[in-house]
Protein backbone atom coordinates (compact mmCIF):
# COMPACT_ATOMS: atom_id res chain seq x y z
CA UNK A 1 0.00 0.00 0.00
CA UNK A 2 1.31 3.42 -0.98
CA UNK A 3 1.21 6.34 1.45
CA UNK A 4 -0.04 9.49 -0.27
CA UNK A 5 -0.80 13.04 0.87
CA UNK A 6 -1.44 14.10 4.45
CA UNK A 7 -5.15 14.79 4.83
CA UNK A 8 -5.20 16.00 8.43
CA UNK A 9 -2.84 16.55 11.32
CA UNK A 10 -4.60 16.21 14.68
CA UNK A 11 -3.10 16.83 18.10
CA UNK A 12 -1.59 13.35 18.40
CA UNK A 13 -2.00 11.60 15.06
CA UNK A 14 -1.76 12.42 11.38
CA UNK A 15 -4.00 10.96 8.71
CA UNK A 16 -2.69 10.07 5.25
CA UNK A 17 -4.49 9.01 2.09
CA UNK A 18 -3.31 5.84 0.36
CA UNK A 19 -3.62 4.47 -3.16
CA UNK A 20 -6.72 2.62 -1.90
CA UNK A 21 -9.71 4.98 -1.51
CA UNK A 22 -11.16 2.79 1.28
CA UNK A 23 -8.05 2.89 3.47
CA UNK A 24 -5.99 5.49 5.32
CA UNK A 25 -2.70 5.41 7.18
CA UNK A 26 -2.72 6.79 10.72
CA UNK A 27 0.63 7.88 12.11
CA UNK A 28 0.98 8.09 15.86
CA UNK A 29 3.21 11.01 16.80
CA UNK A 30 5.03 11.68 20.07
CA UNK A 31 2.99 14.88 20.53
CA UNK A 32 0.94 14.89 23.70
CA UNK A 33 -1.74 17.43 24.52
CA UNK A 34 -4.00 18.12 27.45
CA UNK A 35 -6.62 20.69 28.36
CA UNK A 36 -7.86 21.03 24.75
CA UNK A 37 -4.38 21.51 23.36
CA UNK A 38 -3.43 24.22 25.88
CA UNK A 39 -0.54 22.08 27.08
CA UNK A 40 1.56 20.38 24.39
CA UNK A 41 4.71 18.32 24.82
CA UNK A 42 6.61 15.72 22.87
CA UNK A 43 7.14 12.51 24.84
CA UNK A 44 9.76 10.20 23.34
CA UNK A 45 8.44 6.79 22.23
CA UNK A 46 4.78 7.72 22.74
CA UNK A 47 3.89 7.27 19.05
CA UNK A 48 5.39 3.78 18.97
CA UNK A 49 3.86 2.77 22.31
CA UNK A 50 0.35 3.98 21.44
CA UNK A 51 0.45 2.50 17.94
CA UNK A 52 1.39 -0.93 19.29
CA UNK A 53 -1.02 -0.62 22.24
CA UNK A 54 -3.88 0.37 19.95
CA UNK A 55 -3.15 -2.43 17.45
CA UNK A 56 -3.24 -4.98 20.29
CA UNK A 57 -6.52 -3.66 21.72
CA UNK A 58 -8.22 -3.36 18.31
CA UNK A 59 -7.28 -6.99 17.58
CA UNK A 60 -8.74 -8.11 20.91
CA UNK A 61 -11.96 -6.22 20.17
CA UNK A 62 -12.21 -7.62 16.63
CA UNK A 63 -11.72 -11.13 18.06
CA UNK A 64 -14.69 -10.42 20.34
CA UNK A 65 -16.81 -9.52 17.31
CA UNK A 66 -16.67 -5.74 17.54
CA UNK A 67 -16.36 -4.04 14.13
CA UNK A 68 -13.23 -1.88 14.08
CA UNK A 69 -11.42 0.19 11.46
CA UNK A 70 -8.06 -1.44 12.26
CA UNK A 71 -6.53 -3.34 9.37
CA UNK A 72 -2.83 -3.83 10.11
CA UNK A 73 0.16 -2.24 11.80
CA UNK A 74 2.58 -1.02 9.13
CA UNK A 75 5.54 0.13 11.21
CA UNK A 76 6.39 1.29 14.71
CA UNK A 77 4.25 4.39 14.37
CA UNK A 78 1.90 3.70 11.43
CA UNK A 79 -1.26 1.63 11.01
CA UNK A 80 -3.62 1.04 8.11
CA UNK A 81 -7.29 1.65 8.90
CA UNK A 82 -10.54 1.69 7.01
CA UNK A 83 -11.46 5.21 5.94
CA UNK A 84 -14.51 6.17 7.99
CA UNK A 85 -16.91 9.08 7.84
CA UNK A 86 -16.35 10.02 11.45
CA UNK A 87 -19.35 10.77 13.67
CA UNK A 88 -18.41 13.91 15.65
CA UNK A 89 -19.57 12.44 18.94
CA UNK A 90 -17.37 10.91 21.64
CA UNK A 91 -18.79 8.07 23.72
CA UNK A 92 -17.55 7.84 27.31
CA UNK A 93 -18.17 4.95 29.71
CA UNK A 94 -17.17 5.24 33.36
CA UNK A 95 -16.76 2.35 35.79
CA UNK A 96 -15.23 4.47 38.56
CA UNK A 97 -15.65 8.21 39.22
CA UNK A 98 -12.71 10.38 38.11
CA UNK A 99 -11.85 13.44 36.02
CA UNK A 100 -14.69 15.48 34.58
CA UNK A 101 -17.40 13.59 36.49
CA UNK A 102 -15.81 14.38 39.83
CA UNK A 103 -15.51 18.06 38.91
CA UNK A 104 -18.99 18.32 37.47
CA UNK A 105 -21.00 16.42 40.09
CA UNK A 106 -18.77 16.66 43.15
CA UNK A 107 -18.70 12.90 43.66
CA UNK A 108 -15.70 11.34 45.34
CA UNK A 109 -12.89 10.19 43.06
CA UNK A 110 -12.66 6.40 43.15
CA UNK A 111 -16.36 5.76 43.82
CA UNK A 112 -17.51 2.64 41.97
CA UNK A 113 -20.26 3.43 39.47
CA UNK A 114 -22.92 0.77 39.35
CA UNK A 115 -24.22 0.51 36.70
CA UNK A 116 -21.42 2.11 34.66
CA UNK A 117 -22.40 5.48 33.16
CA UNK A 118 -22.59 6.46 29.49
CA UNK A 119 -22.03 10.04 28.29
CA UNK A 120 -21.81 11.80 24.95
CA UNK A 121 -19.53 14.71 24.08
CA UNK A 122 -19.38 16.76 20.90
CA UNK A 123 -15.99 16.52 19.20
CA UNK A 124 -15.28 20.24 18.95
CA UNK A 125 -12.04 21.65 20.37
CA UNK A 126 -13.12 25.30 19.95
CA UNK A 127 -16.12 24.59 22.22
CA UNK A 128 -14.00 22.38 24.55
CA UNK A 129 -15.87 19.16 23.65
CA UNK A 130 -19.15 20.05 25.42
CA UNK A 131 -21.33 17.34 26.89
CA UNK A 132 -24.38 16.63 24.71
CA UNK A 133 -27.22 14.11 24.68
CA UNK A 134 -29.13 11.95 22.19
CA UNK A 135 -31.74 14.63 21.57
CA UNK A 136 -29.16 17.28 20.63
CA UNK A 137 -27.26 14.80 18.45
CA UNK A 138 -30.45 13.94 16.56
CA UNK A 139 -31.67 17.53 16.19
CA UNK A 140 -28.34 18.83 14.93
CA UNK A 141 -27.78 15.81 12.69
CA UNK A 142 -24.58 14.58 14.34
CA UNK A 143 -25.98 11.03 14.53
CA UNK A 144 -29.34 9.32 14.10
CA UNK A 145 -31.12 7.65 17.03
CA UNK A 146 -30.33 4.26 15.47
CA UNK A 147 -26.64 5.11 15.15
CA UNK A 148 -26.54 6.39 18.74
CA UNK A 149 -28.16 3.19 20.02
CA UNK A 150 -25.60 1.11 18.11
CA UNK A 151 -22.70 3.23 19.38
CA UNK A 152 -23.93 2.88 22.96
CA UNK A 153 -24.35 -0.89 22.66
CA UNK A 154 -20.87 -1.26 21.13
CA UNK A 155 -19.30 1.00 23.77
CA UNK A 156 -20.69 -1.23 26.53
CA UNK A 157 -19.56 -4.40 24.71
CA UNK A 158 -16.07 -2.89 24.60
CA UNK A 159 -16.37 -2.39 28.38
CA UNK A 160 -17.09 -6.08 28.94
CA UNK A 161 -14.07 -7.15 26.88
CA UNK A 162 -11.58 -4.59 28.17
CA UNK A 163 -12.57 -4.57 31.85
CA UNK A 164 -11.71 -8.27 31.91
CA UNK A 165 -8.52 -7.88 29.85
CA UNK A 166 -7.18 -5.15 32.16
CA UNK A 167 -8.36 -6.96 35.31
CA UNK A 168 -6.25 -9.95 34.26
CA UNK A 169 -3.27 -7.56 34.27
CA UNK A 170 -4.12 -6.27 37.76
CA UNK A 171 -5.59 -3.03 36.40
CA UNK A 172 -8.86 -1.15 36.81
CA UNK A 173 -10.42 0.34 33.67
CA UNK A 174 -11.76 3.53 35.25
CA UNK A 175 -13.18 5.25 32.14
CA UNK A 176 -12.56 5.61 28.41
CA UNK A 177 -13.59 7.45 25.29
CA UNK A 178 -14.47 5.87 21.94
CA UNK A 179 -15.09 7.39 18.53
CA UNK A 180 -17.10 5.75 15.78
CA UNK A 181 -17.57 6.31 12.08
CA UNK A 182 -19.42 4.90 9.11
CA UNK A 183 -17.90 2.47 6.62
CA UNK A 184 -20.25 1.65 3.76
CA UNK A 185 -23.18 2.47 6.06
CA UNK A 186 -22.00 0.33 8.99
CA UNK A 187 -21.04 1.75 12.41
CA UNK A 188 -17.39 0.92 13.03
CA UNK A 189 -15.08 1.71 15.95
CA UNK A 190 -12.45 4.22 14.82
CA UNK A 191 -9.65 6.40 16.18
CA UNK A 192 -7.57 4.72 18.91
CA UNK A 193 -7.71 2.98 22.24
CA UNK A 194 -4.62 3.80 24.28
CA UNK A 195 -3.78 5.22 27.71
CA UNK A 196 -4.20 8.67 26.09
CA UNK A 197 -7.98 8.22 25.98
CA UNK A 198 -8.76 6.19 29.06
CA UNK A 199 -7.96 5.94 32.76
CA UNK A 200 -6.20 2.87 34.14
CA UNK A 201 -5.29 2.37 37.79
CA UNK A 202 -3.27 -0.33 39.46
CA UNK A 203 -5.92 -2.52 41.12
CA UNK A 204 -4.00 -2.80 44.40
CA UNK A 205 -2.44 0.62 44.89
CA UNK A 206 -4.77 2.67 42.62
CA UNK A 207 -1.66 4.28 41.13
CA UNK A 208 -2.57 6.21 37.94
CA UNK A 209 -1.02 4.62 34.86
CA UNK A 210 -2.59 6.72 32.10
CA UNK A 211 -2.64 10.23 30.66
CA UNK A 212 -3.52 11.70 34.06
CA UNK A 213 0.21 11.33 34.78
CA UNK A 214 0.73 13.97 32.06
CA UNK A 215 -2.29 16.10 33.02
CA UNK A 216 -1.21 16.16 36.67
CA UNK A 217 2.55 16.47 36.04
CA UNK A 218 3.30 13.17 37.82
CA UNK A 219 6.09 12.18 35.39
CA UNK A 220 6.86 8.67 34.15
CA UNK A 221 4.08 8.94 31.56
CA UNK A 222 5.41 6.64 28.85
CA UNK A 223 6.93 4.27 31.40
CA UNK A 224 3.41 3.85 32.82
CA UNK A 225 1.92 3.23 29.35
CA UNK A 226 4.58 0.57 28.74
CA UNK A 227 3.96 -1.02 32.13
CA UNK A 228 0.24 -1.30 31.35
CA UNK A 229 1.04 -2.71 27.91
CA UNK A 230 3.40 -5.32 29.32
CA UNK A 231 0.82 -6.42 31.90
CA UNK A 232 -1.79 -7.16 29.22
CA UNK A 233 0.60 -8.69 26.69
CA UNK A 234 1.43 -5.88 24.24
CA UNK A 235 4.86 -6.43 22.67
CA UNK A 236 7.04 -3.32 22.44
CA UNK A 237 10.11 -4.73 20.69
In sequence order, the 6+-apart residues with CB closer than 8 A to the CB of 223 are: none
For residue 4, which phi and psi values (nearest 5 degrees)?
-110, -140
The reply to whether 175 sits near ligand TYD by the rule CB under 6 A is yes
The reply to whether 190 sits near ligand ATP by the rule CB under 6 A is yes
CB 183 within 8 A of CB 69: yes
Specify burial of residue 202 (Cβ count, 10 A radius: 0-12, 13-18, 19+). Answer: middle
84, 91, 198, 209: residue in contact with ligand TYD (rule CB under 6 A) = 198
The reply to whether 228 sits near ligand TYD by the rule CB under 6 A is no
Parallel, antiparallel, or unpaired: how do β-strands 171-183 and 198-202 relate?
A: antiparallel
Our CB check for ligand TYD shows the closer of 188 and 198 to be 198
The reply to whether 195 sits near ligand TYD by the rule CB under 6 A is no
Omega within 30 of 0 (cis) for the link into 141: no
Binding mask 96-115 for ligand TYD (x = CB under 6 A): ---xxx--------------
| Bridge partners, residue 94, by sequence | 117, 175
Measured distance CA(20)–CA(23) in Å, rounded: 6
Binding mask 108-147 for ligand ATP (x = CB under 6 A): ---------------x------------------------
CA angle, corner 204, sides to 201 and 205, nearest 5?
Answer: 65
| Bridge partners, residue 175, by sequence | 94, 199
Measured distance CA(44)–CA(12) in Å, rounded: 13
Closest distance of CB 88 from ligand ATP, Å: 8
25, 57, 58, 84: residue in contact with ligand ATP (rule CB under 6 A) = 84
The reply to whether 188 sits near ligand TYD by the rule CB under 6 A is no
Task: Look at residue 182 and give the partner it binds from ligand TYD, ligand ATP, none, a contact being a CB closer than 5 to 8 Å depending on partner kind.
Answer: none
191, 210, 212, 226: residue in contact with ligand ATP (rule CB under 6 A) = 191
CA 90 to chain centre: 9
Binding site residues, ligand ATP, CB under 6 A: 8, 10-13, 15, 24, 69, 81-84, 86, 123, 179, 181, 190-191
Binding site for ligand TYD (CB under 6 A): 90, 92, 99-101, 121, 129, 175-177, 197-199
Amino acid sequence: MEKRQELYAGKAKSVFATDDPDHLILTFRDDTSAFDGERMESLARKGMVNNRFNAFIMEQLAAAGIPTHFTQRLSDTESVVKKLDMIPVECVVRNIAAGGLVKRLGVEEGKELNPPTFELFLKNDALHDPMINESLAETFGWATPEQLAEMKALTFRVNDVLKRLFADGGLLLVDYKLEFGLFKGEIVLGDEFSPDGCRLWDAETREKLDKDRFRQGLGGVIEAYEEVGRRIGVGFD
